[in-house]
Amino acid sequence: NAGVTQTPKFQVLKTGQSMTLQCAQDMNHEYMSWYRQDPGMGLRLIHYSVGAGITDQGEVPNGYNVSRSTTEDFPLRLLSAAPSQTSVYFCASRRELMNTEAFFGQGTRLTVV
Amino acid sequence: AQTVTQSQPEMSVQEAETVTLSCTYDTSESDYYLFWYKQPPSRQMILVIRQEAYKQQNATENRFSVNFQKAAKSFSLKISDSQLGDAAMYFCAYRGSYRGGSEKLVFGKGTKLTVNP
């Protein structure tokens, strides 16, 4: 099982550039989400989706856009990259049942210069 | 809003000994889920153990066990017979149980565990 796959693993962007972080899962999980991890901050929720066509904002959504056209994919778009978006980004998925845990991708380290 | 506090930024333990990582949380909900995740240098987030708040029995997974004190809102992780491979950052996380508002995992800031040979 591939589980949750994120691409790329590393990325350097210039301020103002846009890009899309890819996330795909092959476990047929209904729920998918994006988190960012900053030093000393733990992980914080950016956006999440409870199924295809349904997305909602998390704790830190500004500067990011998402869509969920299929169950498998949940891309995260940076509209105009800023140095404050330098972080490690994690995609996670889980089954809809209440007592299930989230499975995480391996993360994308993004640097905005 | 729910919060999760890990008061120990760093801990160390000798190989084969036992260590306890602390976690407290704040919530007004009566039903929720608690998790401990391990993050080794590879960056991968790995679930260590989980606890459903409605269960009184403490969860156990091999050398890992929790001390869940619901009234005190405390959820500590005990690692027995520590191994070098246990060295990692450990995150405590909370998730509410209500559909639609429950997708958010709230994380603590983490505890870096060092295992000395």
* Span A32-55, pLDDT tens digits: 999 999 988 889 999 999 899 999
Q: What is the mean pLDDT of residues B107-115?
A: 96
The single residue listed with the structure tokens 């949750």 is: A4
**Spans of chain A below 50 pLDDT:** none
Of chain A, the end-to-end C-alpha distance in Å amounts to 36
Interchain contact B84–A (C-beta under 8 A): no
| Nearest Cα residue to B85 out of B115, B45, B42 | B115
- The token duo for A29 is 């999980």
Give B107→chain A minimum CA distance, Å: 6
* CB < 8 Å to B47, chain A: 101-103
B4/A101 Cβ within 8 A: no
Going by DSSP bridges, is the β-strand pair B10-14/B111-116 parallel, antiparallel, or unpaired? Answer: parallel
Give A91→chain B minimum CA distance, Å: 10
Query: What Å distances lie between residue A73 and A31, A68, B2, B49, CA to CA?
Result: 11, 6, 29, 27
Are A28 and A71 in contact, with CB atoms under 8 Å apart?
yes
For the cut 90, the answer to whether the pLDDT of residue B97 exceeds it is no
Task: Count contacts between A and B (CB, < 8 Å).
Answer: 55
- Tell me A73's DSSP state: B
A90/B4 Cβ within 8 A: no
* CB < 8 Å to B93, chain A: 43
| Nearest Cα residue to B112 out of B7, B9, B4 | B9
- The confidence score (pLDDT) of residue A13 equals 97
A35/B104 Cβ within 8 A: no
